[in-house]
Structure 1
């Protein structure tokens, strides 16, 4: 992906409550939310003087996946936001994955400069069950997905652009609000159960401004679920 640098004053969050629009420009200094894995301090075992036969390693099953499906890229913002919404709301506790695995695939399509990545990690965490909740949901084979109804640029985004000072929003930054239905199903006392409820959120993305540029959009930030721009 070709890197598109963001200006120093960056978009952190855009939220709408009633008729009030608040545009927060400038980004705070974030600490790392997840550090690298620490190398093992245990020494490697010394080789035997007379090595035995090489162990027979199991052949991985072709259907086993190491991570959830990647978010499909697109230079079209509406298409890209649709892919983001599907990745954000689709998970399965019986898949063997954990919430961080689903977070990673969304962060992979985040701000290429890295400036908004810590905030995006925190945003995505608000959409996924905690580790403790995940362990409980796994007992009931719970899975989730979204049926999208509409994806549209909210009217408040025009106000945000009018209020923004020069350089506060990178060219190509745009907001899309997604409305849909969140579905969940699972097993309770050997019986299949299901539930659904409406959900809405806003995704802030950065997309190419040149129609001939086929570079994929990048996901900057997410509103809180059910607190979208309108």
Structure 2
């Protein structure tokens, strides 16, 4: 096992982050539809109905282009949007939206196999995507915070220098917004979301690159 991969595994073990996890609930609320014709529900509480224009007239987001930056917060936010801003009516597949994250990931290649599984756990499955497309679902993320977790310095200290220089963690908290059509009527859902992006920036590389993702809705604190 390459030394750089062992170093990251040490940190992830120390902080108790669960990776390669299955997708969290709350992402596909429109699959179930609203409890009433003009209201929506999701698998978690906290969803709220809201007025929205007919999504059939809105194409929605296209796959993102990640910035070339050495700012870990800026980069983490861009990765988050790439993972969660998508539309089922543009002709793209889930993997098209998440492809930029993998294409710009760990240049050493050490973390790529694990990251592939992490990213896949954030995507709708083919069957879910097909069902969402029948309701013309569009999703986007609004970010409330993007910060280094309070446990990250402790994790680095416990690793005793066995982490690639420039490696950091950014925990994203925000809200997922989905719009769609349910029995011919516009519908929408909102759900809280949180997760941690592990990335490496300077001096490891001139620009930031994603290493791994935490389990969805189970971020590093």
User: TM-score scaled to structure 1, two decimals?
Assistant: 0.71
Tell me which residue corresponds to 1:159.
154
Aligned CA RMSD, in angstroms, stands at: 2.4
Which of the two has higher C-alpha Rg?
A: 1
Contact 1:23 1:160 in 2 (8 A): no
Runs of at least 5 residues in structure 2 that lack an aligned partner in the other structure: 19-61
Q: Deviations over 1:66-117 (max 9, x none)?
A: x723222311111111111111111111111111212211101100011111
Alpha-carbon distance in 2 for matches of 1:106, 1:219: 7
Q: Which of 22, 26, 45 in structure 1 is aligned with 2:16?
A: 22
**Partner residue of 1:209 out of 190, 197, 203:** 203
Asked if the contact 1:6–1:113 (Cα under 8 Å) also holds between the matched residues in 2, the reply is: no
Q: Which residue of 2 aligns with 1:114?
A: 109
Q: What pairs up with 1:135-174 in 2 under 5 angstroms?
A: 135-167=130-162, 169-174=163-168
Structure 1 segments, 4+ long, off by >3 Å, are 12-16
How many angstroms does 1:10 deviate by? Answer: 3.7
TM-score if structure 2 supplies the norm length? 0.73
| 8 A Cα contact 1:12 1:119, kept in partner | no
Return the structure number with greater strand share: 1
Aligned length: 177
Q: Point out where structure 1 has 5 or more consecutive residues left out of the alignment.
A: 25-66
Q: Distance in 2 between matches of 1:105 and 1:13?
A: 27
Greater relative contact order (Cα < 8 A, sep 6+): 2
Cα distance change of structure 1 residues 8 and 84 upon mapping to structure 2, 3 Å threshold: closer
